[in-house]
Amino acid sequence: MKRPLSLVFTSALLCLMSLCPLVAQDVPAETRALASTLDDVIERYCEASGGREHIKAVRSLRIETVLTMADGSSGKLVYIKKQPYYMRSIWYGPRGIVVRKGFNGKRAWELFQGPDGRERLSYLDGRLSEIFEWVLADPEACGATLTMLPVERVGREECYRVRATYADGNVRDFWLDTASLCEVRVTETRKNGATTTFLIEKPLKYDGIWFPGVQREIMPDGSTGNTIEILDVQMNIGLLPCFFDPPEGLLGPESPQNTDPVP
């Protein structure tokens, strides 16, 4: 059974959840002993991308990717983020479908354009899923707490396993290669029990920071779902908050709005 395109797009966004150090063929193997504490693991992890302060200095981000769905169809996906909470994305899907999403700090919205060119604007509850947040480098800013779990093996790699537990009840587990401190696998478990797993391949480095060149969504039966391949990354670009507002002229007096302050 095919998933609705809006769900496919959301799943693709989740693929980019983590943008920190990744397994790379040119990362030299570490010879030091295994880290025994969470603080040591996180410190080594940040060092792999130039240090904690270098990672936290990224205040805005634009990532251009190609999204390939399980049925083989593909399209360009662009994600734009401005700290602390602004987000906008656009997906050029098959048959002329275009999906735009955004969050301006108060309201999350989605604009769906069908094959016939007609547009449908809808408003979403709460905030959109965070993609650019560096949760392992700065958990407090992301509203998360970190826990170190026992070392596990993923394929041929021996990995540290670090769990990020968020205030909203969602959980993300990160498997970090013990030699390079780069990510091998990421699993998100939402508070409703649904899980999503991604395998990381072919990393790319931008401004000294590792990004996932390819991320593959692994389905419950072991097959590959969505695949995202990064084409380009730009950091610290100038963006005004109004860029993240819903499309001009589509707002009405009864448009729902989240009036709660953003944490």
* Predicted confidence (pLDDT) per residue in 183-198, tens digit: 889 999 988 888 989 9
pLDDT tens for 68-97 read 988 888 899 999 988 877 899 999 988 899
Q: Give me the residues paired with residue 165 across strands.
A: 145, 171
CA angle 174, 67, 120 (to 5 degrees): 110
pLDDT at 128 exceeding the cut of 70: no
What's residue 12's pLDDT? 52
Distance CA 124, CA 256 (A): 9
Instruction: Give whole-number Cα distances, 123 to 26, 29, 63, 131, 231, in Å.
Output: 44, 47, 24, 19, 30
Q: Is 18 helix (H, G, I), strand (E, B) or coil?
A: coil
Q: What one-character DSSP code corresponds to residue 189? A: E
Collect contacts of 32-37 with beta carbons under 8 A, ≥24 apart: 34/151, 34/178, 35/160, 35/178, 37/148
What's residue 252's pLDDT? 45
pLDDT tens for 57-73 read 988 999 999 999 888 88
CA angle 132, 135, 206 (to 5 degrees): 50
| pLDDT confidence band for 229 (50 / 70 / 90) | very high
Q: Which CATH architecture has domain 5-244?
A: Clam (2.50)
- Of all residues in the chain, the percent with pLDDT exceeding 90 is 40
Phi then psi for residue 7, to 5 deg, are -75, -35
User: What DSSP string runs through 50-113?
Assistant: T-HHHHHT--EEEEEEEEE-TTS-EEEEEEEEETTTEEEEEEE-GGG-EEEEEE-SS-EEEEEE
pLDDT at 112 exceeding the cut of 50: yes
Average pLDDT for 32-46: 92
Lookup result for tokens 């987000």: 87
pLDDT at 52 exceeding the cut of 80: yes
Other Cβ atoms within 10 Å of 233 Cβ, number: 19
pLDDT at 258 exceeding the cut of 90: no
- Of all residues in the chain, the percent with pLDDT exceeding 70 is 79
Q: Are the C-beta atoms of residues 13 and 89 closer than 8 Å to each other? A: yes
Burial of 25 (0-12, 13-18, 19+ CB in 10 A): exposed
Q: E strand or H helix at 233, and its extent? A: strand 224-235
Distance CA 80, CA 62 (A): 4
Nearest to 213 by CA among 45, 90, 63: 63
